[in-house]
Structures are given as structure tokens and as C-alpha cells.
Structure 1
Amino acid sequence: MTTLFTRIIDGEIPGRFVWSDDRAVAFTTIAPITDGHTLVVPRAEVDQLTDAPDDLLAHLVVVAKTVGRAQQAAWDAPRAALLVAGFEVPHLHLHVLPAWDESSLTFANARTDVPAADLDAAAERLRDALRAAGHGAHVPATAGSPAL
């Protein structure tokens, strides 16, 4: 069965993409813990962290690191946090978010009432930071397209 994330990657469901390459995409979440909260997702349908081939997992972590650095720059955050849970969608995904303290790193702080315009602005801010860091080749030309 096709996962929700595959449907987003395939364009069946809208997504705010900030990164795209041949193995992974990254898009901002609709329920951010902090502004800029992004999901790094393999294009391949891998159920969970422990099922991922080592080379794919290594690639996802490198993408997460790149996104995290851009988040730190865009939001002047002292840290970029990485969370892996995977209970909400059976498709491996890494949560990357700008972070100021550990106490805020809980899904209980996820906000589901953020206006679409604010979500769009956060995604564009992150795309701008990725471009400024020299990663423009992996930043989709439009927010809704994961195409290379």
C-alpha cells in the first residue's frame, strides 16, 4: 500500500518541499514543533529506521545535517535537533528542527493551527537559507514540486 509520504512525493497531496535529490526529499511539516520543522524522507518506501539500508540511512542523515545547518542560520538557533519516531506514518522520516532547549523537543508541542501562509513563509525562509549555503541544486524550483 502506498504511504502518505509517497503520495506527497508523487504530488498527489501537496507538500512544502525544501530539498530534493534522487534518494530523498525534505518538506516542512503541517504540525511544526518549531518554525521550520522539516521531515527528511527517503523516496523508497522504507517502514522504519531499523529497516533502512546503511547507505540510505547515511544519506538521510547527511541531508538532515544540511537542512539543520540551514535552519540554524535561518532562525538563529543554537542547535538543530533530530528526532526519529515514526509511529504516525509507516514510512521512515527524520524530524529536523531548529532548537533552543531540550524541553521543547516533544511532539506534545506540535502546533496544528499554524496558518498556511505562515507555513509557506517558513518553507521559503528555509529554501532561501539552503540556497545561500550553496545547495540551490537540491532546492526545488517551486514549493509544491519535489522534482530535481
Structure 2
Amino acid sequence: MASVFTKVMNGELPGRFVYRDDRCAAFLTIAPLKPGHTLVVPVEEVDHWIDLPEDLAAHLFSVSQKISKAMQEAFQPEKVGLMIAGLEVRHVHLHLVPIWQVHDLDFSKQDPNPDPAEMDAAMHKLRDAIGWQPDE
């Protein structure tokens, strides 16, 4: 059965994409820690990040750096945090979060009901900083 992330990438579930190529997609999480909290997800469904083929892992980190540099520009955080947990969805995903302190990576502080207008604004801010627009 396809993961929730595969369903987002296939258009079966909505997603606020900020980047996409043939190997991965990046979209805002539905329960952000901070505005701009983005997931970088491989198209290939791999459960655990240690099982990623080396070239795919390198690609995910390269894309994550590109997005994080844009996130740094767009949101001006102290740092951009990166976390790989993988317990809630069994499909590798890298969390990129604008942070000002280590507690900004506390997943108990997720916003389960973010304002859709704020989410759209964060998506457009990131897309502009990345220089990416979806093919429509």
C-alpha cells in the first residue's frame, strides 16, 4: 500500500510543494513546528534512511541544502535544523525547520491546525527563494 507521502506526490492527497524533481519532492508538513517546516521525501519508498542507496541519500541531502539555503534567506532563522526520525510515516523524510533554539525541534510543539493562508504564504516565500515553480 502506498505511503501517505507517495499519495501526496501522486496528487491523491493535497500538498504544498516547494520543490520537485524525478527523484524526490519537498513539501510543507501539515503539522509544522515553525512556518516553512518542509519535508524532503524520495519518490522511492524506503522505510529507514540507513537503507537508502548512497546516490539517493546524496541527492536528498543536496536538495535539502538547496532548500535550507532558501529557507535561511526567506525566514532569517538562526539556523535551519535537519531531523530524520521516520517513526510516524514509514517512508524516509528529512525535516527542514527554521530554528532559533534547539527547542524549536521539539515535535510535541507541532501545530496540528496551521492557518491555511499562512501555509500558502510560507510555500510561496520558499518557492520564490528557491526559484522553483511547479509545472501546471
TM-score, reference length from structure 2: 0.96
Are 1:140 and 2:134 an aligned pair?
Answer: yes
RMSD after superposition:
1.1
- Runs of 4+ displaced beyond 4 Å: none
1:141 CA drift (Å): 4.1
Are 1:54 and 2:54 an aligned pair?
Answer: yes
Paired with 1:62 and 1:117, the residues of 2 have a C-alpha distance of: 29
Are 1:120 and 2:113 an aligned pair?
Answer: no
Shifted more, 112-121 versus 8-17: the winner is 112-121
The runs of 5 or more residues in structure 1 that have no matched partner are: 143-148
Q: Percent identity?
A: 46
1:28 CA drift (Å): 0.4
Task: Tell me which residue corresponds to 1:72.
Answer: 72
Paired with 2:97 and 2:135, the residues of 1 have a C-alpha distance of: 22
Paired with 1:129 and 1:141, the residues of 2 have a C-alpha distance of: 17
Instruction: Report SS of the residue matched to 1:27.
Output: strand
Instruction: Report SS of the residue matched to 1:40.
Output: strand
Paired with 1:141 and 1:95, the residues of 2 have a C-alpha distance of: 24
Paired with 2:128 and 2:30, the residues of 1 have a C-alpha distance of: 19
1:113 CA drift (Å): 1.9
Task: Tell me which residue corresponds to 1:10.
Answer: 10
Aligned length: 136
TM-score, reference length from structure 1: 0.88
Task: Tell me which residue corresponds to 1:101.
Answer: 101
Instruction: Report SS of the residue matched to 1:90.
Output: coil
1:9 CA drift (Å): 0.4
Write the deviation string for residues 17-69 of structure 1: whole angstroms up to 9, x where unpaired: 00011101000011110110000000111111011111101110111111111
Task: Tell me which residue corresponds to 2:32.
Answer: 32
What letter matches 1:9 in structure 2?
M
